[in-house]
Structure 1
Amino acid sequence: HFALCLSIFLSFHLTAESLKCNTCSVGMASLCFIGSTAECSTSEPNCFTAVAVFNATNILNIKRKGCMATALCNTTSTGSILTAGYTATQTCCSTDQCNGAVAIQLPLTVALGAALVAICSTFT
């Protein structure tokens, strides 16, 4: 009976320990266009903030927030969107909402317009 009680206790304890993280699907500067909070799963137990900096300007930053697997934490990668190169850095933390506050949210059409203007301005 002790083993059964211990396993039930641990399952409740581990469930109660899930992190709550701020989420942001698309953000620029301190603005978040689609954001909320989420409870992380055991497969993605860390809060993260990812920042993509476009190489042509070093000014335009696109941000994301949410839950992430430990293996992907604190990594840097490179890529390109419409021939504009970028460097993305993913930083993790492990306390409730440690990845910053959910910022001001704007409608998706405003977000897409701002992103398009910012990307197009890198080519002029």
Structure 2
Amino acid sequence: MNHGIILRVLAVGVCVAIGHTLQCYKCDIGFGDMCLTSEITCPSGEVCYSGNGKAVGLLDIKMKGCLATAKCNMTHDVNFPSSSNTTVYTMTKTCCDTNLCNSAPSLSSLSRMTPLAIATFTTVLMVKVLV
């Protein structure tokens, strides 16, 4: 067998492996079960994460995106202002390393939230019109 062909195939394989990037869902912030997502490509050395937390100790919040592996599976308090001891929310970020593994919410979750969102929007609009 020709060693030149084997070396070329190996070189192509290494280039593909080095250039491999991970696709993840991204959601900057979501509340309850609602987290509107888009797909992103992570930079090299990052994996997908799903973050779950509590804002002001009672409101469920969610985040999704890419994260450096060293920051995975940790819980962080986010303070405001950042130099204070006032915790705005606590977030635990759990990581995974396959394409789109930090799954987006199912359509059934979104379809349950749609009537609530429409009702809220309509109420706000009616209050503005009547006042």
What range is the shorter-chain TM-score in? 0.5 to 0.7
In the alignment, residue 96 of structure 1 is paired with which amino acid? N
Larger % of helix: which? 2
Distance 1:102 1:30 in 2: 7
Larger % of strand: which? 1
2:11 alignment partner in structure 1: 7
In the alignment, residue 21 of structure 1 is paired with which amino acid? C
The Cα shift of 1:55 comes to 4.8
Q: Does 1:67 find its partner at 2:69? A: no
Distance 1:67 1:40 in 2: 6
Q: Which runs of 5+ in 1 are unaligned?
A: 105-109, 111-124
Distance 1:11 1:64 in 2: 32
Total equivalences in the alignment: 102
2:41 alignment partner in structure 1: 39
The Cα shift of 1:8 comes to 3.3
Percent of aligned pairs with the same amino acid: 33
Distance 2:95 2:56 in 1: 23
Q: Which runs of 5+ in 2 are unaligned?
A: 111-116, 118-131
Higher normalized contact order (CA 8 Å, seq sep 6+, divided by chain length): 1
User: What's the C-alpha RMSD, in Å, of the aligned pairs?
Assistant: 2.9
The Cα shift of 1:41 comes to 2.2
CA contact (8 A) 2:77 2:87 kept: no
2:96 alignment partner in structure 1: 93
Distance 1:14 1:30 in 2: 36
The Cα shift of 1:25 comes to 1.0
CA contact (8 A) 1:24 1:102 kept: no
Larger Rg: 2
TM-score if structure 2 supplies the norm length?
Answer: 0.61
